[in-house]
Structure 1
Amino acid sequence: MQEPLAPKQGRRTRGRKVTREERMETRGRARALQALYAADLRDLTQVKRIATTVFDDLAIDPAERLFASRLIATVADRGAVLDAALVEVTANWRLERLGAIERSVLRLAAAELAREETPVKVVLQEAVHLAERYGTERSARFVNGVLDAYARRLGRL
């Protein structure tokens, strides 16, 4: 059985001032990632149900939950389309060959880009931060490259 998804210790916001709203969205993305990761390991077709369980277990703030739930709903509703688009830009990599963290971060970012509510650069930066925080520096570089290509293909960069 795999270890639960937990952030690495010692990561900071690199000296920039962060507003309360930004923190809520950042935390919401992390919660959505936790739910996607859990669903990826269990049954991605049940992502909404799994997310509800994860959010209930963690007793997250209502604003974070709402933000995370919207991202989860987008993955649930458009998952096949998002996955197909990601496969097109992951040269020589099938999604099932990627690690669960990388796959979940890519799906999360693709869903947020599909919602078109957050600036593209913010989505990319947050996704890279999540990949680095929950994965590795190598994961972060990979995620950055894939999402850059994905955003360009969408005509958003």
Structure 2
Amino acid sequence: MSIRRRGRQIALQVLYQMEWGGWEEDASASISRYLETSVANGLSMDHPSVQFAKSLVEGVAKNRSVLDEIIRKYARNWRLDRMAIVDRNILRIGVYELKFVHDVPPKVAINEAIELGKRFGSEDSAPFINGILDAVNKDLGLG
């Protein structure tokens, strides 16, 4: 598994944890807590996947209101609070990468989000995520 794919998976799990906690814990503390669990398989804070995850978590947390507004615009007939937490956070990561992470090609960001949806979401997650991120990508004029 690539460093960034693993980082995205970590970021999704940490964002899920942060949302359950009411966004009260900061990114570094949430990632540290994540690393203390057996799920992290002995990763340290300086591992490249963890560093990438940290950048995603910090970026999503910092820009959450902007990301949520973009998601709302394209999630026709879906209120953000009615989406599955996993799908909502995958979309946040995907939109964050499309809008703010310029060294990730848009197609890669979308594909990685779809893969997260397949792995962690429901059977409907991947097409739902694809539809929203594809529309965001087209509107942002990224390709």
- TM-score range normalised by the length of the shorter chain: 0.7 to 0.9
**Secondary structure at the counterpart of residue 103 of structure 2:** coil
Does the C-alpha gap of structure 1 residues 47 and 98 become closer, same or farther in structure 2, counting only changes over 3 Å?
Answer: farther
**Paired positions, count:** 136
Q: Letter of the 1:80 partner, please give it.
A: S
Q: Which of the numbers 22, 26, 29 marks the counterpart of 1:43?
A: 22
Matching of residues 7-18 of structure 1 within 5 Å: none
- The unaligned stretches of length 5 or more in structure 2 are none
Match of 1:140 in 2: 126
Match of 2:63 in 1: 78
**Secondary structure at the counterpart of residue 124 of structure 1:** helix
1:152 aligns with 2:135: no
Q: CA RMSD in A?
A: 1.5
Supply the distance in 1 between the matched residues of 2:15 and 2:106 (Cα, whole angstroms).
21
TM superposition score normalised by structure 1: 0.80
Matching of residues 16-95 of structure 1 within 5 Å: 23-48=2-27, 49-57=29-37, 58=40, 59-60=42-43, 62-95=47-80
1:124 aligns with 2:110: yes
Q: What CA deviation, in whole Å up to 9, does each residue of 1:63-85 have, x standing for no partner?
A: 11111001111112111111111
Which shifted more, 43-52 or 32-41?
43-52
Q: Letter of the 2:133 partner, please give it.
A: L
Shift of 1:155: 1.1
Supply the distance in 2 between the matched residues of 1:86 and 1:108 (Cα, whole angstroms).
11
Q: Letter of the 2:10 partner, please give it.
A: R
Counterpart contact for 1:36–1:47, Cα < 8 Å: no
Supply the distance in 1 between the matched residues of 2:63 and 2:24 (Cα, whole angstroms).
11
